[in-house]
Protein backbone atom coordinates (compact mmCIF):
# COMPACT_ATOMS: atom_id res chain seq x y z
CA UNK A 1 0.00 0.00 0.00
CA UNK A 2 2.83 2.39 0.82
CA UNK A 3 4.39 1.73 -2.59
CA UNK A 4 1.08 2.40 -4.34
CA UNK A 5 0.63 5.55 -2.28
CA UNK A 6 4.13 6.73 -3.23
CA UNK A 7 3.52 6.27 -6.96
CA UNK A 8 0.09 7.89 -6.72
CA UNK A 9 1.62 10.98 -5.06
CA UNK A 10 4.40 11.09 -7.64
CA UNK A 11 1.98 10.89 -10.57
CA UNK A 12 -0.15 13.65 -9.04
CA UNK A 13 2.95 15.83 -8.52
CA UNK A 14 4.05 15.39 -12.14
CA UNK A 15 0.54 16.04 -13.45
CA UNK A 16 0.07 19.22 -11.41
CA UNK A 17 3.55 20.41 -12.43
CA UNK A 18 2.44 19.95 -16.04
CA UNK A 19 -0.72 21.98 -15.38
CA UNK A 20 1.38 24.78 -13.90
CA UNK A 21 3.81 24.77 -16.86
CA UNK A 22 0.94 24.79 -19.36
CA UNK A 23 -0.74 27.64 -17.48
CA UNK A 24 2.42 29.73 -17.59
CA UNK A 25 2.87 28.84 -21.27
CA UNK A 26 -0.67 30.05 -22.04
CA UNK A 27 -0.28 33.25 -20.01
CA UNK A 28 3.07 33.91 -21.69
CA UNK A 29 1.50 33.67 -25.15
CA UNK A 30 -1.70 35.60 -24.46
CA UNK A 31 -0.50 38.37 -22.14
CA UNK A 32 3.19 38.44 -21.26
CA UNK A 33 4.65 38.44 -24.76
CA UNK A 34 2.11 40.94 -26.21
CA UNK A 35 2.46 43.27 -23.23
CA UNK A 36 6.18 43.04 -22.41
CA UNK A 37 7.71 41.72 -25.62
CA UNK A 38 9.83 44.89 -25.77
CA UNK A 39 11.47 43.86 -22.48
CA UNK A 40 12.69 40.54 -23.86
CA UNK A 41 9.62 38.32 -23.49
CA UNK A 42 9.83 37.12 -27.09
CA UNK A 43 8.24 33.98 -28.50
CA UNK A 44 10.12 32.05 -31.19
CA UNK A 45 8.23 28.88 -31.99
CA UNK A 46 10.79 26.05 -31.89
CA UNK A 47 8.64 23.24 -33.28
CA UNK A 48 6.59 20.57 -31.52
CA UNK A 49 9.44 18.14 -30.82
CA UNK A 50 11.58 20.88 -29.33
CA UNK A 51 8.73 22.03 -27.09
CA UNK A 52 8.30 18.45 -25.85
CA UNK A 53 12.01 18.33 -24.98
CA UNK A 54 11.63 21.66 -23.13
CA UNK A 55 8.75 20.25 -21.11
CA UNK A 56 10.79 17.19 -20.23
CA UNK A 57 13.44 19.42 -18.65
CA UNK A 58 10.70 21.40 -16.90
CA UNK A 59 9.13 18.28 -15.39
CA UNK A 60 12.11 16.11 -14.49
CA UNK A 61 12.55 17.76 -11.03
CA UNK A 62 8.91 16.88 -10.27
CA UNK A 63 10.08 13.25 -10.11
CA UNK A 64 11.63 14.05 -6.74
CA UNK A 65 9.85 17.28 -5.74
CA UNK A 66 8.56 16.90 -2.13
CA UNK A 67 4.84 16.11 -2.05
CA UNK A 68 4.58 16.99 1.64
CA UNK A 69 6.99 19.26 3.49
CA UNK A 70 8.69 17.55 6.41
CA UNK A 71 11.83 19.69 6.70
CA UNK A 72 11.85 23.51 6.56
CA UNK A 73 14.30 23.95 3.68
CA UNK A 74 12.06 21.82 1.45
CA UNK A 75 9.66 24.76 1.35
CA UNK A 76 12.43 26.99 -0.09
CA UNK A 77 13.40 24.28 -2.57
CA UNK A 78 9.81 23.87 -3.73
CA UNK A 79 9.29 27.60 -4.18
CA UNK A 80 12.55 27.88 -6.13
CA UNK A 81 11.50 25.06 -8.48
CA UNK A 82 8.15 26.71 -9.16
CA UNK A 83 9.15 30.37 -9.42
CA UNK A 84 12.87 30.11 -10.17
CA UNK A 85 13.75 27.02 -12.18
CA UNK A 86 10.65 26.67 -14.40
CA UNK A 87 10.65 30.28 -15.75
CA UNK A 88 14.40 30.13 -16.42
CA UNK A 89 14.11 26.94 -18.47
CA UNK A 90 10.93 27.93 -20.30
CA UNK A 91 11.84 31.51 -21.20
CA UNK A 92 15.43 30.77 -22.22
CA UNK A 93 14.10 28.02 -24.50
CA UNK A 94 11.14 29.87 -25.98
CA UNK A 95 13.22 32.99 -26.70
CA UNK A 96 15.90 30.82 -28.37
CA UNK A 97 18.60 32.17 -26.07
CA UNK A 98 21.24 29.98 -27.70
CA UNK A 99 21.55 27.00 -30.02
CA UNK A 100 19.32 24.24 -28.69
CA UNK A 101 22.29 21.89 -28.34
CA UNK A 102 24.00 24.45 -26.08
CA UNK A 103 20.81 25.00 -24.09
CA UNK A 104 20.47 21.27 -23.45
CA UNK A 105 23.94 21.30 -21.88
CA UNK A 106 22.89 24.21 -19.68
CA UNK A 107 19.69 22.43 -18.65
CA UNK A 108 21.49 19.19 -17.78
CA UNK A 109 23.81 21.11 -15.47
CA UNK A 110 20.85 22.94 -13.92
CA UNK A 111 19.13 19.59 -13.34
CA UNK A 112 22.25 18.33 -11.59
CA UNK A 113 22.19 21.44 -9.44
CA UNK A 114 18.52 20.93 -8.61
CA UNK A 115 19.17 17.36 -7.52
CA UNK A 116 22.15 18.37 -5.40
CA UNK A 117 19.97 20.95 -3.61
CA UNK A 118 17.21 18.35 -3.21
CA UNK A 119 19.63 16.06 -1.39
CA UNK A 120 20.61 18.92 0.89
CA UNK A 121 16.97 19.79 1.62
CA UNK A 122 16.44 16.23 2.88
CA UNK A 123 19.44 16.26 5.22
CA UNK A 124 20.47 18.18 8.31
CA UNK A 125 23.57 19.39 10.13
CA UNK A 126 22.01 19.40 13.56
CA UNK A 127 23.04 22.10 16.00
CA UNK A 128 21.44 24.41 18.51
CA UNK A 129 22.50 27.36 20.63
CA UNK A 130 21.07 27.01 24.13
CA UNK A 131 20.04 30.32 25.67
CA UNK A 132 17.73 31.47 28.40
CA UNK A 133 14.53 32.73 26.78
CA UNK A 134 14.62 35.84 28.94
CA UNK A 135 17.93 36.87 27.39
CA UNK A 136 16.68 35.90 23.93
CA UNK A 137 13.75 38.32 24.19
CA UNK A 138 15.97 41.08 25.59
CA UNK A 139 18.33 40.75 22.63
CA UNK A 140 15.48 40.51 20.11
CA UNK A 141 13.59 43.57 21.34
CA UNK A 142 16.82 45.49 21.92
CA UNK A 143 18.03 44.88 18.36
CA UNK A 144 14.60 45.55 16.85
CA UNK A 145 14.16 48.77 18.81
CA UNK A 146 17.65 50.02 18.00
CA UNK A 147 17.26 49.34 14.27
CA UNK A 148 13.84 51.01 14.16
CA UNK A 149 15.20 54.11 15.90
CA UNK A 150 18.18 54.12 13.53
CA UNK A 151 15.83 54.00 10.53
CA UNK A 152 13.66 56.82 11.90
CA UNK A 153 16.78 58.93 12.54
CA UNK A 154 18.20 58.38 9.03
CA UNK A 155 14.95 59.03 7.17
CA UNK A 156 13.49 61.66 9.47
CA UNK A 157 11.65 64.26 7.42
CA UNK A 158 11.76 62.17 4.21
CA UNK A 159 9.18 59.45 4.89
CA UNK A 160 6.85 59.05 1.92
CA UNK A 161 3.92 56.70 1.30
CA UNK A 162 3.59 56.29 -2.48
CA UNK A 163 0.50 54.67 -3.94
CA UNK A 164 1.27 50.93 -3.91
CA UNK A 165 -0.42 50.51 -7.30
CA UNK A 166 1.25 53.52 -8.93
CA UNK A 167 4.57 52.36 -10.39
CA UNK A 168 5.75 55.88 -11.22
CA UNK A 169 5.28 57.11 -7.64
CA UNK A 170 7.03 54.04 -6.27
CA UNK A 171 10.09 54.44 -8.50
CA UNK A 172 10.25 58.16 -7.83
CA UNK A 173 10.56 57.46 -4.10
CA UNK A 174 13.14 54.74 -4.70
CA UNK A 175 15.31 57.04 -6.80
CA UNK A 176 14.98 60.21 -4.71
CA UNK A 177 14.45 59.12 -1.12
CA UNK A 178 17.86 57.62 -0.42
CA UNK A 179 19.76 59.87 2.04
CA UNK A 180 23.02 61.33 0.81
CA UNK A 181 24.96 59.68 3.61
CA UNK A 182 24.62 56.88 6.13
CA UNK A 183 26.34 56.04 9.38
CA UNK A 184 28.46 52.91 9.22
CA UNK A 185 25.46 50.54 9.23
CA UNK A 186 24.09 51.70 5.86
CA UNK A 187 20.80 50.05 4.86
CA UNK A 188 21.64 46.88 6.77
CA UNK A 189 19.17 47.58 9.62
CA UNK A 190 16.30 47.94 7.13
CA UNK A 191 17.01 44.62 5.44
CA UNK A 192 17.42 42.80 8.77
CA UNK A 193 14.23 44.31 10.15
CA UNK A 194 12.20 43.45 7.07
CA UNK A 195 13.48 39.92 6.54
CA UNK A 196 14.13 38.54 10.02
CA UNK A 197 13.21 40.60 13.09
CA UNK A 198 9.76 41.92 12.13
CA UNK A 199 8.77 38.59 10.47
CA UNK A 200 9.64 36.80 13.73
CA UNK A 201 7.28 39.06 15.68
CA UNK A 202 4.55 38.47 13.09
CA UNK A 203 4.98 34.69 13.08
CA UNK A 204 5.13 34.55 16.88
CA UNK A 205 2.02 36.71 17.10
CA UNK A 206 0.09 34.52 14.66
CA UNK A 207 1.07 31.24 16.30
CA UNK A 208 0.45 32.39 19.89
CA UNK A 209 -2.40 34.87 19.18
CA UNK A 210 -0.39 37.88 20.35
CA UNK A 211 -2.15 40.76 18.62
CA UNK A 212 0.34 43.35 19.87
CA UNK A 213 3.22 41.49 18.20
CA UNK A 214 1.27 41.32 14.95
CA UNK A 215 0.52 45.04 15.02
CA UNK A 216 4.13 45.96 15.82
CA UNK A 217 5.36 43.86 12.92
CA UNK A 218 2.86 45.31 10.42
CA UNK A 219 3.49 48.88 11.59
CA UNK A 220 7.23 48.29 11.28
CA UNK A 221 6.93 47.03 7.71
CA UNK A 222 4.73 50.01 6.78
CA UNK A 223 7.37 52.32 8.25
CA UNK A 224 10.05 50.60 6.18
CA UNK A 225 7.92 50.92 3.05
CA UNK A 226 7.87 54.68 3.65
CA UNK A 227 11.68 54.75 3.44
CA UNK A 228 12.51 53.16 0.09
CA UNK A 229 9.07 52.13 -1.28
CA UNK A 230 10.12 48.49 -1.45
CA UNK A 231 6.89 46.62 -2.12
CA UNK A 232 8.30 43.38 -0.76
CA UNK A 233 8.02 44.81 2.76
CA UNK A 234 4.22 44.83 2.49
CA UNK A 235 3.91 41.80 0.23
CA UNK A 236 5.79 39.64 2.74
CA UNK A 237 3.15 40.41 5.38
CA UNK A 238 0.34 39.36 3.03
CA UNK A 239 2.18 36.20 1.96
CA UNK A 240 2.81 35.24 5.60
CA UNK A 241 -0.89 35.57 6.39
CA UNK A 242 -1.80 33.50 3.30
CA UNK A 243 0.62 30.73 4.23
CA UNK A 244 -0.56 30.76 7.84
CA UNK A 245 -4.21 30.45 6.82
CA UNK A 246 -4.00 28.00 3.91
CA UNK A 247 -0.84 25.95 4.45
CA UNK A 248 -0.84 25.20 8.15
CA UNK A 249 0.08 21.52 7.99
CA UNK A 250 2.13 21.65 4.75
CA UNK A 251 0.49 18.49 3.39
CA UNK A 252 0.33 18.53 -0.40
CA UNK A 253 2.37 21.75 -0.25
CA UNK A 254 3.78 21.67 -3.78
CA UNK A 255 0.39 20.68 -5.21
CA UNK A 256 -1.43 23.53 -3.45
CA UNK A 257 1.16 26.14 -4.45
CA UNK A 258 1.19 25.17 -8.13
CA UNK A 259 -2.58 24.92 -8.41
CA UNK A 260 -3.07 28.23 -6.60
CA UNK A 261 -0.55 30.01 -8.83
CA UNK A 262 -2.07 28.43 -11.96
CA UNK A 263 -5.57 29.61 -11.03
CA UNK A 264 -4.33 33.11 -10.12
CA UNK A 265 -2.31 33.46 -13.33
CA UNK A 266 -5.22 32.39 -15.53
CA UNK A 267 -7.79 34.40 -13.60
CA UNK A 268 -5.95 37.71 -13.44
CA UNK A 269 -4.63 37.42 -16.98
CA UNK A 270 -8.20 36.94 -18.24
CA UNK A 271 -9.42 39.89 -16.17
CA UNK A 272 -6.52 42.05 -17.33
CA UNK A 273 -7.11 41.24 -21.01
CA UNK A 274 -10.86 41.83 -20.85
CA UNK A 275 -11.22 44.67 -18.35
CA UNK A 276 -8.00 46.69 -18.62
CA UNK A 277 -7.17 49.45 -21.04
CA UNK A 278 -3.87 51.27 -21.57
CA UNK A 279 -2.01 48.92 -19.23
CA UNK A 280 -3.41 50.38 -16.03
CA UNK A 281 -5.78 49.47 -13.26
CA UNK A 282 -5.79 46.95 -10.44
CA UNK A 283 -6.15 43.85 -12.66
CA UNK A 284 -3.20 44.91 -14.79
CA UNK A 285 -1.12 45.70 -11.72
CA UNK A 286 -1.82 42.35 -10.03
CA UNK A 287 -1.13 40.45 -13.25
CA UNK A 288 2.10 42.36 -13.79
CA UNK A 289 3.28 41.74 -10.21
CA UNK A 290 2.46 38.02 -10.37
CA UNK A 291 3.21 37.00 -13.93
CA UNK A 292 5.97 39.40 -14.94
CA UNK A 293 7.66 40.63 -11.77
CA UNK A 294 7.42 37.48 -9.64
CA UNK A 295 7.50 34.56 -12.09
CA UNK A 296 8.67 35.78 -15.48
CA UNK A 297 11.48 38.15 -14.56
CA UNK A 298 13.79 35.30 -13.53
CA UNK A 299 13.85 33.98 -17.08
CA UNK A 300 14.63 37.40 -18.55
CA UNK A 301 17.40 37.91 -15.98
CA UNK A 302 18.91 34.55 -16.88
CA UNK A 303 18.92 35.50 -20.57
CA UNK A 304 20.58 38.83 -19.82
CA UNK A 305 23.31 37.40 -17.59
CA UNK A 306 23.92 34.41 -19.87
CA UNK A 307 24.46 36.60 -22.93
CA UNK A 308 26.58 39.15 -21.09
CA UNK A 309 28.95 36.63 -19.48
CA UNK A 310 29.51 34.78 -22.75
CA UNK A 311 31.73 37.71 -23.72
CA UNK A 312 32.73 39.29 -20.39
CA UNK A 313 34.89 38.06 -17.51
CA UNK A 314 33.37 36.06 -14.66
CA UNK A 315 33.54 37.50 -11.17
CA UNK A 316 34.90 34.31 -9.54
CA UNK A 317 32.83 35.35 -6.52
CA UNK A 318 34.55 38.71 -6.18
CA UNK A 319 31.03 40.20 -6.20
CA UNK A 320 30.82 38.85 -2.63
CA UNK A 321 32.25 41.39 -0.16
CA UNK A 322 34.23 38.86 1.87
CA UNK A 323 35.93 37.58 -1.31
CA UNK A 324 36.55 40.96 -2.94
CA UNK A 325 39.76 41.70 -0.95
CA UNK A 326 41.35 38.54 -2.38
CA UNK A 327 40.07 38.55 -5.99
CA UNK A 328 39.82 41.68 -8.13
CA UNK A 329 36.22 42.49 -9.03
CA UNK A 330 36.24 43.28 -12.79
CA UNK A 331 33.38 45.82 -12.82
CA UNK A 332 34.61 48.59 -10.55
CA UNK A 333 32.12 50.16 -8.17
CA UNK A 334 29.02 48.87 -9.98
CA UNK A 335 27.06 45.93 -8.61
CA UNK A 336 26.23 43.03 -10.91
CA UNK A 337 22.65 44.27 -11.21
CA UNK A 338 23.83 47.74 -12.21
CA UNK A 339 26.27 46.30 -14.76
CA UNK A 340 23.56 44.21 -16.43
CA UNK A 341 21.08 47.09 -16.27
CA UNK A 342 23.47 49.40 -18.09
CA UNK A 343 25.07 47.00 -20.56
CA UNK A 344 22.07 44.83 -21.44
CA UNK A 345 19.03 47.03 -20.83
CA UNK A 346 20.81 50.31 -21.71
CA UNK A 347 19.65 52.23 -18.66
CA UNK A 348 21.04 53.38 -15.35
CA UNK A 349 17.60 53.08 -13.74
CA UNK A 350 17.51 49.26 -13.64
CA UNK A 351 19.35 47.27 -11.01
CA UNK A 352 18.90 43.84 -12.57
CA UNK A 353 19.21 41.66 -9.48
CA UNK A 354 18.82 37.94 -10.07
CA UNK A 355 18.54 34.65 -8.23
CA UNK A 356 21.55 32.74 -6.88
CA UNK A 357 21.63 30.33 -9.86
CA UNK A 358 22.41 33.37 -11.98
CA UNK A 359 24.49 35.74 -9.83
CA UNK A 360 26.44 33.09 -7.90
CA UNK A 361 26.36 30.60 -10.76
CA UNK A 362 26.52 31.99 -14.30
CA UNK A 363 28.07 35.35 -13.35
CA UNK A 364 30.57 33.86 -10.92
CA UNK A 365 31.98 30.96 -12.91
CA UNK A 366 29.77 30.10 -15.86
CA UNK A 367 28.12 26.66 -15.98
CA UNK A 368 30.44 25.14 -13.33
CA UNK A 369 29.31 27.98 -11.08
CA UNK A 370 25.78 26.53 -11.09
CA UNK A 371 27.10 23.30 -9.57
CA UNK A 372 29.29 25.18 -7.06
CA UNK A 373 26.44 27.33 -5.78
CA UNK A 374 24.13 24.30 -5.72
CA UNK A 375 26.52 22.54 -3.33
CA UNK A 376 26.73 25.64 -1.13
CA UNK A 377 22.94 26.01 -1.20
CA UNK A 378 22.59 22.35 -0.19
CA UNK A 379 24.84 23.00 2.81
CA UNK A 380 22.72 26.03 3.77
CA UNK A 381 19.61 23.84 3.51
CA UNK A 382 21.21 21.35 5.89
CA UNK A 383 22.05 24.14 8.34
CA UNK A 384 18.47 25.41 8.18
CA UNK A 385 17.09 21.93 8.90
CA UNK A 386 19.59 21.38 11.69
CA UNK A 387 18.93 24.71 13.41
CA UNK A 388 15.18 24.07 13.30
CA UNK A 389 15.15 20.73 15.06
CA UNK A 390 13.54 22.12 18.23
CA UNK A 391 10.87 24.15 16.48
CA UNK A 392 7.54 23.42 14.86
CA UNK A 393 7.47 22.99 11.11
CA UNK A 394 4.92 25.79 10.71
CA UNK A 395 7.02 28.22 12.74
CA UNK A 396 10.15 27.45 10.71
CA UNK A 397 8.49 27.62 7.29
CA UNK A 398 6.77 30.92 8.08
CA UNK A 399 10.09 32.34 9.25
CA UNK A 400 11.70 31.29 5.97
CA UNK A 401 9.17 33.02 3.69
CA UNK A 402 11.17 36.26 3.44
CA UNK A 403 14.56 34.58 2.81
CA UNK A 404 12.88 32.35 0.21
CA UNK A 405 11.48 35.39 -1.61
CA UNK A 406 14.86 37.09 -1.35
CA UNK A 407 16.65 34.10 -2.89
CA UNK A 408 14.44 34.44 -5.97
CA UNK A 409 15.94 37.87 -6.64
CA UNK A 410 19.37 38.06 -5.01
CA UNK A 411 22.63 36.26 -4.43
CA UNK A 412 22.79 33.51 -1.80
CA UNK A 413 25.58 35.42 -0.06
CA UNK A 414 23.58 38.65 0.03
CA UNK A 415 20.57 36.79 1.41
CA UNK A 416 22.69 34.95 3.94
CA UNK A 417 24.73 37.85 5.30
CA UNK A 418 22.56 40.95 4.83
CA UNK A 419 19.21 39.60 3.67
CA UNK A 420 18.15 37.99 6.90
CA UNK A 421 18.74 34.29 6.21
CA UNK A 422 21.78 34.04 8.47
CA UNK A 423 19.96 35.79 11.31
CA UNK A 424 16.87 33.62 10.72
CA UNK A 425 18.98 30.46 11.07
CA UNK A 426 20.44 31.91 14.28
CA UNK A 427 16.97 32.71 15.65
CA UNK A 428 15.80 29.17 14.88
CA UNK A 429 18.84 27.81 16.71
CA UNK A 430 18.25 30.11 19.71
CA UNK A 431 14.49 29.84 20.02
CA UNK A 432 12.57 26.70 20.95
CA UNK A 433 8.88 26.13 20.37
CA UNK A 434 6.89 23.22 21.76
CA UNK A 435 8.82 19.94 21.48
CA UNK A 436 5.56 18.11 20.83
CA UNK A 437 5.30 19.92 17.54
CA UNK A 438 8.86 19.45 16.41
CA UNK A 439 10.05 19.85 12.85
CA UNK A 440 11.00 16.21 12.89
CA UNK A 441 7.47 15.04 13.62
CA UNK A 442 7.35 14.45 9.88
CA UNK A 443 4.42 14.29 7.55
CA UNK A 444 6.00 11.89 5.11
CA UNK A 445 7.58 12.58 1.74
Q: List pLDDT tens digits, range 341-380.
A: 888 777 776 788 899 999 999 999 999 999 999 999 999 9
pLDDT of the residue at 261 = 96
Q: Per-residue confidence at 2, pLDDT binned at 50, 70, 90?
A: low
Q: Per-residue confidence at 276, pLDDT binned at 50, 70, 90?
A: confident
Q: List pLDDT tens digits, range 237-252.
A: 999 999 898 877 778 8
Residues 6+ apart with CB under 8 A from 284: 272, 276
- Region 397-424 average pLDDT: 90
pTM reported for the whole predicted model: 0.91
- Region 158-162 average pLDDT: 83
Tell me the C-alpha distance between 272 and 274, whole Å.
6
Q: Per-residue confidence at 156, pLDDT binned at 50, 70, 90?
A: confident
Q: What is the mean pLDDT of the chain?
A: 89
Q: List pLDDT tens digits, range 182-220.
A: 666 777 889 899 999 999 999 999 999 999 999 999 999
pLDDT of the residue at 4 = 56
pLDDT of the residue at 442 = 40
pLDDT of the residue at 436 = 43
| pLDDT of 87 higher than 80 | yes
Instruction: Find out whether 367 and 113 touch, Cβ atoms under 8 Å.
Output: no
Whole-Å CA distances, 16 to 8, 74, 268: 12, 18, 20
Q: List pLDDT tens digits, range 5-32.
A: 778 899 999 999 999 999 999 999 999 9
Handedness of CA 233, 389, 414, 74 (dihedral sign): negative
Amino acid sequence: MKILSFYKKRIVTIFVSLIYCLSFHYVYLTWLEPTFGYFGFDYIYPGSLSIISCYLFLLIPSLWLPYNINKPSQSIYTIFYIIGYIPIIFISFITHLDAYSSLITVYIIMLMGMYIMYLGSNSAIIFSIPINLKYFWIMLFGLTGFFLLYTIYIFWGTFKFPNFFNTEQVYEVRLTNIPSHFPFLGLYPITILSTALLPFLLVFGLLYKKVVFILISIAGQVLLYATTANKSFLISVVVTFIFFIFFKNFKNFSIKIMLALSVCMLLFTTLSINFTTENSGVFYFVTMMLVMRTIGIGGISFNAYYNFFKTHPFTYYSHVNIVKPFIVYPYGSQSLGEVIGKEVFNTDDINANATFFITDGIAAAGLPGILIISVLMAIVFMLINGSAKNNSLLFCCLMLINPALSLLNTSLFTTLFTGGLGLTITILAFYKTSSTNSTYNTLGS
